[in-house]
Amino acid sequence: MWRTVLLFYTAIALAFALLLSLLLGVGPQSIMLAMAAAAATLAIYAVRERSRRIFAFGVQLPDAIDIIVRGVRVGLPFSTAVNLVAREMPDPIGTEFGMLADEITFGLDVRTALENLYRRVGQEDLLFFTVSVSIQTQTGGNLGEILSRLSRLMRNREKMRLKIRALSAEGRATAYALSAFPFVLFLVINLISPAYYRAIWSNPLVEPAIYLGFFLLIVGNVIIYRMVNFKF
């Protein structure tokens, strides 16, 4: 795994180094910026892949709970019902519940195994499932009814989340457009008139202005992100 990551990092760093050498010239500054940009690219990719996996897990979780509910209602133990989820559901929830079933089978108590599952996945709604099952194992009660209501709650939350995402789509599109516009404008002007920026590159105010522009762009994106993303 680490060899693959190192290979991707090297390829991305070389690509950035080639691009920056064309813009800034060959030198230590281009190499350092290329290494930093490659590391940032890999970090952003890892965060996005983790977010996608958590999102996919959250979408599958109500269906997985329904399988557990059906199994518990016909008299299966909780561990066997979890094993049904592992066999019938695809990745990522099938894999994670398979690990949960293995931990319970090999002697780990249900509460600890569920806490391990929550720590591995980190999906918010999974905490409700973990707490519900943990409390039921200690105090008793109708687990099927508890999980059935929890499944309905999760589906209602997902409907609300999708509605909010649809209503905030315009704000996200604005953020994407405003973020891309300076770079697109720079490339277009360079293609139309390559000598347009040459007269000002030597000006000492250019570099501080570029840094200020990047800073303001980041601040604007953070503000828009906070406006269109909120907990409910």
Provide the pLDDT for residue 231.
61
Comparing C-alpha atoms, which of 231, 57, 73, 77 is closest to residue 129? 57
pLDDT (tens place) for every residue of the chain, 232 residues total: 677 878 888 888 888 888 777 666 677 777 888 888 888 888 888 889 999 999 899 899 999 999 999 999 998 889 899 999 999 999 899 999 999 999 998 988 899 999 999 999 988 889 999 999 988 888 878 888 999 999 999 999 888 888 888 887 887 788 788 888 888 888 888 788 877 777 777 778 877 888 888 888 888 878 877 777 666 5
Provide the pLDDT for residue 24.
64
Domains of the chain: 54-155 (1.20.81), 168-232 (no CATH)
- Rounded CA-CA distance 214/230 in Å is 25
Provide the pLDDT for residue 213.
83
- Contact indicator for 128, 154 with CB cutoff of 8 Å: yes
Give the distance from CA 125 to its chain's centroid. Answer: 15
Provide the pLDDT for residue 25.
65
Comparing C-alpha atoms, which of 158, 161, 163, 155 is closest to residue 65? 155
- Rounded CA-CA distance 202/206 in Å is 8
- Rounded CA-CA distance 41/69 in Å is 42
Q: Residue 38: CB partners within 8 Å, gap ≥ 6?
A: 9, 12, 13, 16
- Rounded CA-CA distance 72/110 in Å is 15
Locus of tokens 């909120």: 230
Provide the pLDDT for residue 113.
93
- Contact indicator for 97, 78 with CB cutoff of 8 Å: no
Comparing C-alpha atoms, which of 33, 46, 39 is closest to residue 214? 33
Residue 176 structure tokens: 């994407």
Provide the pLDDT for residue 116.
93
- Rounded CA-CA distance 120/129 in Å is 14
